[in-house]
């Protein structure tokens, strides 16, 4: 298993669910200069990954003021974190997060989750729940690291 920066980001996008692809691909040209992609590879195949944003990503524009607060205080936004369904349950999400924390030795991160079932996963990985953001019919929990 290798953790590495992904320079051919489209190869990471290709493993994402279609609705995720539709929420990032049309905007990618506007964000690629301020965003890094990191992946886990098994042999040459990407099996997990995510994006590290330094400015408000397209899926967070509804809460741009909140996003700007975290960016202004030195946090980077983690988004589009994904593990292939066939590889879930193998601690790959934790491996990806821990590798990212090692890469950014003193890094500060924030993220949001829609699926409340992921709360325990992120708390286990050192994130702290901060607040709930209202996104129309959907609510998202905002988490920060270090807590």
Q: Identify the pLDDT of residue 136.
A: 80
CA separation for the pair 40, 62 (Å, rounded)? 30
End-to-end Cα distance, the chain = 28
| pLDDT at residue 71, as a whole number | 96
Q: How high is the pLDDT of residue 59?
A: 84
DSSP secondary structure letters along 47-84: EEEEEEESS--GGGGGGHHHHHHHHHTTEEEEEEEEE-
What's the pLDDT tens digit per position in 41-96?
999 999 999 999 999 998 898 999 999 999 999 999 999 999 999 999 999 999 99
pLDDT at 40 over 80: yes
Output the pTM of the full model: 0.94
Rg (CA), the chain: 14
The structural domains of the chain, with segments of one domain joined by +, span 2-145
The topology under which CATH files domain 2-145 is: Aminopeptidase (3.40.630)
């Amino acid at each position: 298993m290798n953790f590495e920066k992904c320079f051919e980001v489209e190869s990471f996008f290709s493993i994402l669910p279609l609705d995720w692809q539709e929420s990032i691909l049309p905007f990618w040209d506007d964000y690629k200069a301020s965003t890094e992609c990191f992946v886990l590879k098994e042999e040459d195949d990407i099996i997990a990954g995510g994006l590290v944003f330094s400015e408000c990503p397209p899926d967070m524009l509804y809460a741009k003021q909140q996003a700007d607060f975290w960016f202004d205080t030195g946090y980077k936004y983690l988004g589009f974190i994904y593990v292939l369904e066939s590889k879930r349950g193998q601690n790959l999400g934790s491996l990806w997060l821990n590798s990212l924390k090692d890469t950014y030795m003193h890094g500060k991160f924030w993220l949001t989750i829609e699926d409340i079932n992921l709360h325990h996963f992120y708390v286990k990985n050192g994130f702290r729940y901060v607040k709930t953001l209202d996104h129309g019919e959907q609510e998202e929990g905002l988490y920060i690291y270090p807590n």
